[in-house]
């Protein structure tokens, strides 16, 4: 039999277990060939049938198996009975004996629905959250051009408790991709494409472990998208869906704080009348928002801005940010995630736009946006919170392209949906004078239409007609 020798005083004992033949008790090491086994229902296995996916190696004593997810796989009579799709950890346990210590080894068994040859129709998703949708319905029906008498309807939607359940009114509704495989891993990838041949990928993201769905943000309204759900480069689910919406709101950050590119939207989708011809601004060329001073190099926000939205130019309208930290808004740092940047050096106060010195900066800002579009890249222009200086530059660009005064005022008011910026109304309050003074300033220029007036103004500060025409040819459709 075994005997025990105790060495050392008090509680500091060393125990030596020795077999009757004088040798020490041995350790056994268990292992499987594969850390993960993925089987497809209907191809590799069927629900209700039993299998032995892997044999354990290194066992010297009796082995028992267990499953941590019996809704996926159960152990019956030493075999694994398939119960449903999902993921289970299969553990082999070798018993302890007089000669050997006990030991365990495990692997992940994934049971996946076989990929269909057909595309799953996910239906149509509206990208407008309910507050945005109701506001647009109301504003579009009530506002008109050259109308300063109609008060803003925005407060009903930005400040009303009826919409309190919407966490981020400045963000779009997501498209929720669902799959039947009930236990995704962190390496499960959801990829979004513009084409059925899956050659033009617009975005991809990893699933949350053990999830059965994923929310995808920032897609373009009025498009048909195709998606795949894959594991280790093997596609096991695919489908398509349609999107609707009148404005492309953008969710960059998960936190609604200053410095994280919130209050962000694409000017694409706005309808224009360009010299009497009906057109629209293309998506993906011009974005507006707040500063991104707290966005970092390894942040997913940078990936959204540069990879998904294809932004290559940071147009920072603030004053005092180019050579040293700090500036007119009191920020202590400034991060520029894009390949190019330009400083607007525009002080707070609308008179900074009409000052002859600043006018040259407005010219530089517009030129940078025009040149970036020529390179096939998007521009992101912002001040501190993306409301006033940003709102005026947005109105210049929109008016130049042929957006109506009415739609310029609606775009200005959309800033109210961002808690980082606060309420902004087309009329009625001193803090909204950037828009009121700006639109009044532009109305005072020569020209038959609002577009003509804006065009004549930007030409007066040095922008050429050929620059304007080339920009329009790129960003209008």
β-bridge pairing 188-193 and 264-266:
unpaired
Q: What is the dihedral of CA 29, 33, 34, 40, to 10 degrees?
A: -130
Q: How many CA atoms lie within 13 A of 241 on its CB side?
A: 21
- CA pair distance 104, 66, nearest whole angstrom: 11
What is the full DSSP assignment across 174-218? PEEEE-S-S---TTEEEEEESSTTS-SEEEEEEPPTT-SEEEE--
- CB distance 258 to 384 below 8 Å: yes
β-bridge pairing 36-41 and 73-76:
unpaired
**pTM for the complete prediction?**
0.78
Which residues, in sequence order, are CB contacts of 131 under 8 Å at separation 6+?
157, 158, 163, 166, 169, 417
Per-residue confidence in pLDDT tens, the chain, 477 aa: 444 444 444 545 555 555 555 568 899 999 999 998 988 888 889 999 999 989 899 999 999 999 999 988 999 988 999 998 878 899 999 999 999 999 999 999 988 777 667 788 999 999 999 999 999 999 999 999 987 777 889 989 998 889 999 989 999 999 999 987 655 777 889 999 999 999 999 999 999 888 889 999 999 999 999 999 988 777 878 999 999 999 999 999 888 877 788 999 999 999 999 999 999 999 999 999 998 888 776 678 888 999 999 999 999 888 754 433 334 444 444 455 566 777 766 666 666 666 655 678 889 899 999 999 999 999 999 988 899 889 999 999 999 999 999 999 999 999 999 987 888 888 766 555 678 888 888 999 999 999 999 999 999 999 999 999 999 999 999
């Amino acid at each position: 039999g075994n005997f025990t020798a105790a060495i050392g005083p008090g509680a500091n004992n060393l125990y030596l277990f020795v077999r009757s033949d004088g040798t020490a008790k041995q350790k056994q090491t268990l292992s499987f060939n594969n850390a993960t086994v993925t089987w497809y229902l209907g191809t590799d296995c069927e629900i209700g049938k039993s299998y032995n996916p892997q044999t354990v190696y290194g066992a010297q004593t009796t082995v028992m198996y267990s499953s941590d997810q019996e809704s996926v796989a159960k152990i019956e009579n030493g075999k694994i009975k398939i119960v449903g799709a999902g993921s289970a950890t299969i553990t082999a346990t070798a018993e302890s004996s007089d000669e050997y210590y006990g030991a365990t080894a495990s692997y992940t068994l994934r049971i996946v629905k076989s990929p269909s040859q057909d595309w799953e129709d996910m239906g149509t998703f509206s990208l407008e959250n309910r507050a945005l949708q109701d506001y647009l319905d109301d504003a579009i029906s009530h506002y008109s051009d050259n109308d300063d008498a109609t008060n803003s309807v925005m407060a009903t939607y930005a400040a009303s408790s009826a919409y309190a359940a919407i966490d981020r009114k400045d963000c779009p509704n997501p498209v929720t991709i669902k799959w039947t495989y009930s236990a995704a891993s962190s390496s499960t990838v959801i990829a979004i494409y513009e084409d059925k041949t899956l050659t033009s990928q617009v975005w991809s993201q990893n699933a949350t472990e053990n999830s059965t769905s994923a929310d995808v943000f920032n897609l373009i309204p009025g498009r048909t998208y195709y998606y795949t759900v894959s594991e280790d480069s093997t596609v096991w689910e695919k489908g398509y869906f349609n999107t609707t919406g009148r404005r492309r709101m953008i969710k960059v950050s998960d936190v609604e704080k200053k410095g994280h590119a919130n209050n962000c939207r694409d000017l694409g989708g706005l309808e224009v009348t360009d010299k009497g011809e009906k057109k629209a601004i293309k998506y993906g060329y011009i974005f507006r928002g707040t500063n991104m001073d707290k966005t970092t190099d390894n942040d997913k926000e940078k990936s959204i801005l540069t990879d998904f939205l294809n932004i290559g130019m940071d147009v920072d309208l603030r004053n005092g940010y180019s050579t040293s930290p700090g500036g007119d808004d009191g920020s202590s740092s400034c991060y520029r995630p894009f390949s190019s940047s330009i400083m607007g050096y525009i002080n707070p106060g609308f008179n900074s736009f009409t000052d002859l010195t600043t006018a040259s900066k407005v010219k530089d800002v517009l030129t940078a946006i025009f040149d970036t579009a020529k390179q096939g890249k998007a521009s992101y222009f912002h001040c501190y919170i993306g409301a006033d200086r940003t709102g005026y530059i947005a109105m210049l660009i929109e008016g130049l392209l042929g957006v109506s005064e009415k739609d310029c005022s609606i775009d200005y008011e959309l800033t109210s949906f961002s808690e980082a910026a606060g309420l902004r109304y087309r009329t009625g309050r001193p803090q909204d004078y950037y828009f009121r003074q700006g639109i009044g300033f532009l109305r005072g220029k020569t020209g038959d239409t609002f577009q003509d007036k804006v065009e004549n103004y930007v030409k007066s500060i040095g922008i050429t007609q050929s620059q304007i025409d080339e920009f329009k040819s790129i960003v209008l459709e």
